[in-house]
């Protein structure tokens, strides 16, 4: 009788152990590549960027911003041996006015890194490729980003829209064109390993820089819209945008 009880107990244990879902001997925490989750932190000078509320531009004009959208591409990292690690076919659509400010770079080799590079805008081939190749939710799908100039005409790299408080006149800056892709390389210092693969970072974007450095931009005197890739409005704003990223910080 005692023997039968032991056998029945064994049977019950065997049944449960046979169905155990955790049979994989590989440690799931060991990663072979790493990821970097990046949040864009938008500022207006020292203040947090806000939308549809009064803001003072460096020109002293009071405005309300209603849209800040842009496309990031051309991501790469420089590792500790000064090798360039390209993160191909990875893009980000930032719609700051909607709070969509976070994206994740993936398939990053494990290692030590000293800087990150990327562009506001796209290389010419990608810019003029067939936009229908992308799934509707992809950052480069015109259905998703509303930043595309008909068929293969290319993307608007940055859309900045709003109104001037004083006279309620609107401004629309749609910055596009291959020559207006802006390249950035920001210093950093972080390491990833098999057990510490997924990192988070914050990039600070100071919107006031668009309107002040090296030249103060006045909507009233410089213009309220940019109609072409080489208009004086576009040229001035693009030049000012070369210093918009003021900090890259890995948590």
Partner 1 sequence: MKRLLLFALIGTSIYACTDVVNEVPNTPFSTTPYTFTYNKNLLPPARIPKDNPLTQEGVALGRMLFYDPILSADSTQSCASCHNQKDGFTDNQLQYSIGIRGTVGKRNSMSIANLMWHLDGFFWDGRSDILRHQALMPIEDPTEMDETIGNVVVKLSNSLMYKEAFEKAFGSTVINDETIGKSLEQFMLTLVSANSKFDRVMAGLETFTVQEQTGRTIFNAEAIPLNEEQDPNNPQNFGADCFHCHGNSLFMSREYLTNGLPNVTDLGRGGVNGNTRDNYKFKATTLRNVEKTGPYMHDGRFGTLEEVVQHYLGDLSDATSDLGNEPNMHALRDSVYLSEDHKAALVSFLKTLTDEEFLTKEEYSNPF
- Binding stretches for partner 1 (CB under 8 A): 4, 7-8, 10-11, 14-15, 18-19, 52, 66-67, 130-137, 141-144, 146, 148-151, 153, 161-163, 168-172, 174, 225, 227
Nearer to partner 1, 45 or 129 (CB): 129
Question: Residue 95 Cβ, how far from partner 1 at the closest point, in Å?
Answer: 10
Question: Residue 220 Cβ, how far from partner 1 at the closest point, in Å?
Answer: 14
Distances 46 to 58, 173, 218 between C-alpha atoms, Å: 12, 23, 20
Nearer to partner 1, 120 or 159 (CB): 159
Nearer to partner 1, 165 or 201 (CB): 165
Nearer to partner 1, 14 or 194 (CB): 14
Question: Residue 90 Cβ, how far from partner 1 at the closest point, in Å?
Answer: 18
Task: Please compute, for residue 3, the number of CA atoms within 13 A of its CA located in the half-sphere on the CB side.
Answer: 0
3-state secondary structure of 55: strand
Please enumerate in sequence order all residues whose Cβ is within 8 A of that of 71, keeping only pairs 6 or more positions apart, or say none.
Answer: 91, 92, 93, 94, 120, 121, 122, 139, 140, 145, 147, 155, 157, 158
d(CA 93, CA 80): 29
Question: Residue 65 Cβ, how far from partner 1 at the closest point, in Å?
Answer: 10
Nearer to partner 1, 161 or 200 (CB): 161
H-run or E-run covering 120: strand 112-120
CA dihedral 118, 124, 127, 130 (to 10 degrees): -140
Question: Residue 227 Cβ, how far from partner 1 at the closest point, in Å?
Answer: 5
């Amino acid at each position: 009788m005692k023997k039968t009880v032991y056998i029945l107990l064994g049977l019950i244990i065997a049944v449960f152990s046979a169905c155990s879902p955790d049979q994989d001997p590989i440690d799931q925490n060991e990663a072979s590549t790493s990821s970097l989750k990046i949040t864009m932190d938008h500022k207006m000078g020292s203040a947090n960027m806000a939308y549809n509320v009064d803001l003072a531009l460096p020109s002293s004009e009071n405005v309300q911003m209603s849209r800040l959208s842009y496309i990031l591409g051309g991501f790469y990292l420089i590792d500790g041996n000064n090798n360039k690690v390209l993160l191909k076919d990875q893009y980000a659509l930032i719609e700051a006015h909607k709070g969509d400010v976070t994206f994740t770079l993936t398939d990053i080799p494990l290692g030590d890194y000293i800087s990150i590079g990327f562009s506001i805008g796209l290389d010419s081939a990608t810019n003029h490729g067939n936009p229908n190749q992308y799934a509707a939710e992809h950052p480069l799908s015109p259905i998703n980003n509303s930043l595309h100039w008909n068929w293969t005409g290319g993307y608007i790299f940055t859309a900045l829209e709003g109104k001037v408080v004083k006279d309620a006149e609107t401004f629309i800056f749609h910055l596009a064109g291959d020559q207006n892709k802006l390249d950035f390389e920001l210093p950093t210092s972080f390491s990833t390993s098999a057990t510490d693969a997924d990192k988070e970072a914050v990039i600070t974007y100071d919107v006031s820089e668009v309107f002040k450095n090296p030249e103060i931009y006045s909507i009233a005197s410089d213009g309220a819209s940019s109609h072409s890739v080489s208009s004086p409005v576009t040229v001035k704003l693009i030049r000012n945008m070369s210093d918009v990223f003021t900090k890259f910080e890995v948590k």
